[in-house]
Amino acid sequence: MLALTAGDPSGIGPDIALSAWLSRRERNVPPFILIGDPAQMTARARRLGLDVPLGITRPDLAVAQFDTALPVLPLEAQFVDTPGAPNPLNAPGIVESIDRAVELTRQGATSAIVTLPIAKKPLYDSGFRFPGHTEYLEHLANSDSGLDDIAVMMLAGPELRTVPVTIHIPLASVAATLTTRQIVAVGRIVARDLQRRFAIQNPRIAVLGLNPHAGEGGAMGLEDVDVILPAIEILRNEGVDAFGPAPADTMFHPRARAGYDAVLCMYHDQALIPAKMLAFDEAVNVTLGLPFVRTSPDHGTAFDIAGSGKARPDSLIAALRLADMLARNDRRGA
């Protein structure tokens, strides 16, 4: 049983959760329990004209109920149902849903976490001080375990897996921020989780250069030689099948993709543009490096179409399926 967080209820999260449940049979959707507000979900289903019975339940009963009703674990907080208009009053429930999903999964009551999209500004306006979902999940994992887990973002689609080493920072800051140590840390986690959770016995990792043509031996910048190449050498010495720095403009055509299982990218758009180009409706955001499995649809809240019936559940269904597979592999110790 997967734990599905509520996300921002003013976005398309409720819409795609309802649609995913309606598609459960023909699209082989694994069972999930939504941690949310039953009244708000009822209101959204009514607005969309969808016949979705809700089962107010708990995780140990949800699997048996999933075929006939959408299982919902009620929050203590209540949501204001305002499609398309994010409301800071919903922030406590959004955060509570994430907290409870992590708690249930750490306890073994649910097998993995799938998060519906959130918007940062309403959370910031209510006092939330984490950059986003991933950083908050990293905080929860570390505060619970006392460890120092690093959350790594992967975009996973049917044909490509990309990992940005630096994420939500200005492009102008990437060169100064990027370090050999950071690349090595991310590479280790990617290699480990490709083995353990994706069941790839000997993962091959391509490492992209930062500059055009991977710097051309320093002629177009020294970062590829001074920062990225030493990281690759460290990873290879540790037994990781990593290669590069490779020019980014030659690594995403079909023949190149056949030569690796994942690619480490140096900045956000270097990773996300090819991932979304190849699988805009099917790509999944996967968080590696945490003691639990977490996936998410690779799109935002889409406030402009919330409650309109236009939202497609494809990426959510892909996220649910992938979370189920990764959790099964993790339990088997793949």
Q: Are residues 109 and 223 in the same domain?
A: no
- How many domains is the chain partitioned into structurally? 2
Question: Given this model, what pLDDT does residue 148 score?
Answer: 61
> Which residue in this structure is represented by tokens 């049979």?
25
Q: Are residues 79 and 92 in the same domain?
A: yes
CATH label of the domain that carries residue 72: 3.40.718.10
Q: Are residues 112 and 72 in the same domain?
A: yes
Question: Given this model, what pLDDT does residue 11 score?
Answer: 97
Given 289, 307, 324, the domain boundary residue is: 289
Q: Are residues 13 and 138 in the same domain?
A: yes
Contacts of 177 (CB under 8 A, 6+ apart): 166, 169
Question: Given this model, what pLDDT does residue 131 score?
Answer: 80
Q: Are residues 315 and 334 in the same domain?
A: yes
Question: Given this model, what pLDDT does residue 231 score?
Answer: 98
Q: Are residues 175 and 307 in the same domain?
A: no
Encoded tokens for 14:
């409720």
Q: Are residues 244 and 208 in the same domain?
A: yes
Per the structure, the complete domain to which residue 177 belongs is given by: 152-289
Strand order in the sheet with 112-114: 54-56, 70-74, 32-36, 2-5, 112-114, 294-297, 284-288, 152-156, 161-164, 262-265, 204-208, 241-246
Whether residue 202 contacts residue 241, with contact meaning beta carbons closer than 8 Å, is answered with yes
Q: What pTM did the predictor assign?
A: 0.93
Contacts of 239 (CB under 8 A, 6+ apart): none
Q: What is the pLDDT along the chain (334 residues), one digit of tens a residue?
A: 999 999 999 999 999 999 999 999 999 999 999 999 999 999 999 999 999 999 998 899 999 999 999 999 999 999 999 999 999 999 999 999 999 999 999 999 999 999 999 998 888 888 888 888 888 999 998 875 555 678 999 999 999 999 999 988 899 999 999 999 999 999 999 999 999 999 999 999 999 999 999 888 888 888 999 999 999 999 999 999 999 999 999 999 999 999 999 999 999 999 999 999 998 888 999 999 999 999 999 899 999 999 999 999 999 999 999 999 999 999 887 5
Question: Given this model, what pLDDT does residue 15 score?
Answer: 98
Separation between Cα atoms, residue 181 and residue 158, nearest integer Å: 30
Separation between Cα atoms, residue 97 and residue 91, nearest integer Å: 10
Q: Are residues 13 and 129 in the same domain?
A: yes
Question: Given this model, what pLDDT does residue 144 score?
Answer: 56
Q: Are residues 132 and 15 in the same domain?
A: yes
Q: Is the dihedral of CA 332, 259, 298, 188 positive or negative?
A: positive
* CB atoms closer than 10 angstroms to residue 306: 24
Q: Are residues 214 and 313 in the same domain?
A: no
Q: Are residues 252 and 331 in the same domain?
A: no
